[in-house]
Structure 1
């Protein structure tokens, strides 16, 4: 049987490995891109899986002062669509890390 000191060292090593994997996963999330769309594709927003907005594309047909309120609503809807997709991708990536580390499904990590 292992001594208590050996068990503590093994637990610390496992915790460090999990921490490293989580940090790598967080870095990967900023490299994954998702696109939110609204208005049938008239407004598109690209963002990272961490939620960082990368770009906004607005169709030229919406560049009319009379359509300002609609354009604002479409940009909001596209951002929310992209954010929802980013959250889904982030959750899936973090679940992969948890499974690889042997952490039970549904266990909430502080990251």
Structure 2
């Protein structure tokens, strides 16, 4: 049996909690009143005793705070779109035959109609 102790270093968004511990964990914490302990709360990492020390309503971040992230995401998806167009153009130049016995999972993953 193992145990550990860690303390959050600051506020966590619901999304950050979901990414780290899973949606059930974040949902359970949303129900805990500020200033109270709860647990054990199950996550993919095990069981936790949790004290909720504060809660703030969600808000939209100012654009200046997220400008770089938005630009990175835009560039990332632009590259994906360009790759998809390139692959479709290449595929259009060839006669593609599907051999019998290819598993359905392979068909779904590699041959898009």
TM-score normalised by the chain length of structure 2: 0.29
More strand by share: 1
More helix by share: 1
Q: Highest relative contact order (Cα 8 Å, sep 6+), 1 or 2?
A: 1
The higher radius of gyration belongs to 2
TM-score normalised by the chain length of structure 1: 0.29
